[in-house]
Structure formats: structure tokens, C-alpha cells
A and B are shown apart, each in its own frame.
Chain A
Amino acid sequence: DIVMTQSPLSLPVTPGEPASISCRSSQSLLHSNGYNYLDWYLQKPGQSPQLLIYVGSYRASGVPDRFSGSGSGTDFTLQISRVEAEDVGVYYCMQGLQTPFTFGPGTKVDFK
């Protein structure tokens, strides 16, 4: 199985400030079609996860442009340009290249 790790696991943030989460995979997530099969999800308190970023850097429909994804191969980053109150929750990365699809342990983002 591809093992996913994230850092940090806890991220206290200040509203209006930027934030960044790292995700690393034990194998390259580069598909033969040239895309990296790495997604980012946000699970807000009491809710289901929601898709933020797919195949590494594409924002899902309705996701604010303050969210961006980057990276390739085994190293990926989710950046929030200016954190807002609605951004608190747990962020997960997931690889969709090889079954079983696997998730990172999650990064809990809350306010300082």
C-alpha cells in the first residue's frame, strides 16, 4: 500500500494569515497521463469530507481561490493564502493512483 504522511498534524492559525500543509507519499503519484493523483479534502466539524483539490492542483467546483495545491511525485503542498473562520477542520490528502486508495492521517487546523 502507498503510505501517506502529513505535516504538521496540528496547525494553529491566525485569521487572515497564510497557512500551509505538507503531504508526502511513499511512492510517486505521477500517473502515465502526466497528472499526479493526489487530492485534498477538508472535513469541517460534524460534517463529511469535501473535495478541495484534485489531481494535485485543480480546485474543485465552488472552492475559493484562496486554496491552492502544488507538488509532484511524492511531495505535495496545500496552501491557504488567507485563512478564514470557515476553514477550520481536519485536512486530509488522499492518493488515487493505486488501490487501496489511502489517506494521510489528517492535519487539524484551528485558531490560535
Chain B
Amino acid sequence: SQQGEEDPQALSIQEGENATMNCSYKTSINNLQWYRQNSGRGLVHLILIRSNEREKHSGRLRVTLDTSKKSSSLLITASRAADTASYFCATDEMGGSTLGRLYFGRGTQLTVWP
């Protein structure tokens, strides 16, 4: 299975601190995406990084991708209480007919305390 795994499962920090979450996956990919989910609601798309990219930024988010290690990290800088949510990485699978199908990890639950 391609399903990724996030690490840590839970992360608790103070406002203003940086939060780093990691994701590992098993097979070759075309892209890796990060999503946020607030308390059982829908997933919000944060960022997509392609397999030929090593780093991408979007606002306070920084994503890195290491295809040789099959891993990615999401860094949220200067965290706010509103960042409290579950964060998921999602991958596709290179080769075959995988359009429309994403593989998700179990997520990292981030809690940011005011």
C-alpha cells in the first residue's frame, strides 16, 4: 500500500513557535500534497509539491520533499491558535491509472496554545 505515515501523531506547541510535521511514503510518486482538517470537517488543500521539486513555500508554510528518502516535511512558522487542526499528507502513485486517487496518512494532530 502507498499509504503515507505522518510523524508525530500529535504535536503541542505555544503560539509563535514553529511546528514541523513529517510524512513518509512507500512508492514513487508524481506529487505530494498537504491538507488541513479542522475537527471532523472537510479537508483544506494547503500545498502541492511535485516530485521534481525539493522545496516550496506558501505564506507561513514551507514544504520539503526528499524523493530518495520517500519523505516530506511541513513547517508552519509562527504558529497561531487558529492553526490547531489535523494535518495530512497525501500522495498519488506513479504509473498505472491513479488519477483521482490519493493515499492519505493518519495525520498529525497539531494543538497550538495561546
Tell me if chain B binds chain A: no
Residues of B within 8 A of A (CB): none
- A residues with CB within 8 A of B: none
